[in-house]
Structure 1
């Protein structure tokens, strides 16, 4: 399974925003079970990007 175009663009945007604020990015992973992209960055920043490009912080 590959990420969608919307996921890819949103991932690049979010990764750029994180690094602009000097947050290290530790992990970017595509969950093949549900097709969502997961980003782990900074001090416990967790972001989930859905197939349609919408994203959310995980708590």
Structure 2
């Protein structure tokens, strides 16, 4: 299953925010894994030690 264009854009925005210090007090986080949930079509992102996100086909994401 391929991600939608909006999911790819959401993934880019999320990865940019995680790996760049753009907010005061925000710490750099590494992106460990990106996978597609075949059941829902959502992208699953594991970052740092304990952050996880799901990017919906609309491009929005939730922690």
TM-score (norm 1): 0.89
Please state how far the C-alpha of 1:42 moved relative to its aligned partner. 1.2
Is structure 2 residue 2 aligned with structure 1 residue 2? yes
Where structure 2 has 5 or more consecutive residues not aligned to the other structure, the ranges are: 22-27
Verify: 1:32 aligned to 2:38, yes or no: yes
Structure (1 or 2) with the greater strand fraction: 1
Q: Which runs of 4+ in 1 moved over 6 A?
A: none
CA RMSD of aligned residues (A): 0.9
Structure with larger Rg = 2
Aligned residues: 57
